[in-house]
Amino acid sequence: MKQRHYHTDDARWQAVENRDANADEQFVFGVITTGIFCRPSCRARHPLRQNIRFFQDIHAAQAAGFRPCKRCQPDKAPLHQQRVERIRRACELMDAREETITLEALAQEMAMSPYHFHRLFKSVTGLTPRAWQTARRHQRLRDALTQGEAVTPAYYQAGFGSGSSYYRDADSALGMTAKQYRSGGKQLSLRYAVVDCHVGRCLVAQSARGICAILLGDDDATLIAELSALFPHAERHLAQNDFSDILEKVIACIHAPDTRLDLPLDFQGTLFQQQVWEALRTIPAGETVSYQMLAAKVGKPNAVRAVASACGANRLAIIVPCHRVIRHDGKLSGYRWGVARKAALLQHEAKKET
């Protein structure tokens, strides 16, 4: 997004009239008749132009004898930063406890209604509070197993409760049993097939838990080698005829990307990667966002490179539409399966929308 400038009083007044939130960090304005100063985006009724004075910052306004507006609170952090900070504190609270915290308890801690807290949390993180806690618990389990922790202690350290269901829940988090994960994915069994699609060849792989890879390429050998690199210790089998229904559904979604794939998905990643992937799946077909916009969408506006890495780690082409992320100047950037293929996908989606 192009940076706006507010160097002249006319430009500043225009920002005040438009309640331009982009100007909030650029200047404040004081109202002579009331003695208060406000952000440009303040929702209060506009004063007359001749009663306004502009100041570079809140310190200059206070030095001139103006006091902060109680409505827009220009002496405090911007509203969006206050919201992000509130969600950050909620995440710290959830991360410090092994047991799942209810939505009602979290909302009470943050002094918000459950409805507004749930909506704010999802808008900042891309996940619901319950999904965030589940993903964080999954990440702790992966970390413990990767560091060599025995399976049962790793379950408890990650925050999985006791009972017959916690093994099943943990297995779902890993995409395999904990013993398989700890040994590098050995004994994991995949079946796959390669088929034509409108952007070349497409490899679809399925584990016992769902579709674990959708890869794009120009030839079968390259795609099979990519699958081997992604799952180096797994047993890989060429699918038989009973796989045809799955292939048809995947290819149908590739051809009509505005539809959701009606098949279970088996994709694992870090908590941050899952946030990015969930955010990607909210981008409608025919639309694009920049990496900066995507980073802001997951509540990490400064993590542009990490967002790009999460896009590159995506194994489910088109179903998790990382091709809809472009540079801030509108140009196409790198794509795991080639920039030319990315351009073809976007062109195909643009035609579908017209």
Residues 288 and 318 in one domain: yes
Helix 304-312 crosses helix 271-280 at what angle (to 10 degrees)?
Answer: 80
Please give the pLDDT value at position 112. Answer: 86
DSSP codes of every residue in 72-112: T-TTS--HHHHHHHHHHHHHHHHHT-SSPPPHHHHHHHTTS
- State the average pLDDT over residues 29-56: 93
pLDDT tens digits, residue range 344-354? 999 998 876 65
Decide if 332 contacts 342 (C-beta within 8 A): yes
Decide if 135 contacts 141 (C-beta within 8 A): no
pLDDT tens digits, residue range 49-63? 999 999 999 999 999
Please give the pLDDT value at position 2. Answer: 39
Residues 170 and 88 in one domain: yes
- Expressed as residue numbers, the domain containing 197 is 189-255
Please give the pLDDT value at position 354. Answer: 54
Alpha helices in 22-78 (DSSP H): 58-63
Question: Over pLDDT 70: what percentage of the chain?
Answer: 82
**Is residue 262 in a domain?**
no
Question: Quick check: is 38 catalytic?
Answer: yes
Please give the pLDDT value at position 79. Answer: 65
**Is residue 311 in a domain?**
yes
**pLDDT at 331 exceeding the cut of 80:** yes
Query: What CATH number is attached to the domain comprising 113?
Result: 1.10.10.60
- With tokens 């998790």, the residue in question is 320
* Interacting residues of 179 by C-beta distance below 8 A, sequence separation 6+: 151
- State the average pLDDT over residues 326-340: 87
- State the average pLDDT over residues 298-321: 88
Please give the pLDDT value at position 67. Answer: 95
**pLDDT at 149 exceeding the cut of 60:** no
Residues 59 and 93 in one domain: no
Least confident of 78-92, 206-220, 238-252, 293-307: 78-92
Please give the pLDDT value at position 344. Answer: 92
Q: Which of 17, 39, 68 is the last residue in one of the domains?
A: 68
**pLDDT at 263 exceeding the cut of 70:** yes
**Is residue 1 in a domain?**
no
Among 38, 91, 212, 311, the active-site one is 38
The per-residue pLDDT of the chain, averaged, comes to: 81
Instruction: Provide the whole-model pTM.
Output: 0.55
Decide if 145 contacts 151 (C-beta within 8 A): yes
Residues 89 and 131 in one domain: yes
Residues 288 and 347 in one domain: yes
**pLDDT at 9 exceeding the cut of 80:** yes
Residues 213 and 170 in one domain: no
pLDDT tens digits, residue range 207-257? 877 888 999 999 999 999 999 888 887 888 998 888 999 999 999 988 888
Please state, in angstroms and rounded to a whole number, the distance separating the CA atoms of residues 115 and 38: 29
Q: Is 71 helix (H, G, I), strand (E, B) or coil?
A: coil
Please state, in angstroms and rounded to a whole number, the distance separating the CA atoms of residues 319 and 321: 6
Closest CA to 194 of 256, 242, 243: 243
Decide if 273 contacts 313 (C-beta within 8 A): yes
**pLDDT at 296 exceeding the cut of 70:** yes
**pLDDT at 176 exceeding the cut of 60:** no
Q: Is 9 helix (H, G, I), strand (E, B) or coil?
A: helix
**pLDDT at 85 exceeding the cut of 90:** no
Domain count, the chain: 4
Among 72, 202, 212, 322, the active-site one is 322
- With tokens 């350290």, the residue in question is 157
**pLDDT at 278 exceeding the cut of 80:** yes
* Interacting residues of 171 by C-beta distance below 8 A, sequence separation 6+: 177, 178
**Is residue 280 in a domain?**
yes
Query: Roughly how many angstroms between the first and final C-alpha of the chain, as a whole number?
Result: 25
Compute the 3-state secondary structure of the chain and give helix, strand, coil in percent, each to the nearest 5: 45, 15, 40
Residues 87 and 150 in one domain: yes
- State the average pLDDT over residues 150-167: 48
Q: Which of 50, 68, 86 is the last residue in one of the domains?
A: 68
**Is residue 181 in a domain?**
no
pLDDT tens digits, residue range 98-146? 778 899 999 898 888 999 888 888 877 777 888 888 777 777 666 655 5
**Is residue 266 in a domain?**
no
pLDDT band at 158 (very low <50, low <70, confident <90, very high): very low
Query: What CATH number is attached to the domain comprising 226?
Result: 3.30.160.70
Question: Quick check: is 91 catalytic?
Answer: no
**pLDDT at 184 exceeding the cut of 60:** no
Cα Rg of the chain (Å, integer): 25
Q: CB neighbours (10 Å) of residue 77?
A: 11
Residues 275 and 219 in one domain: no
Please state, in angstroms and rounded to a whole number, the distance separating the CA atoms of residues 264 and 93: 31
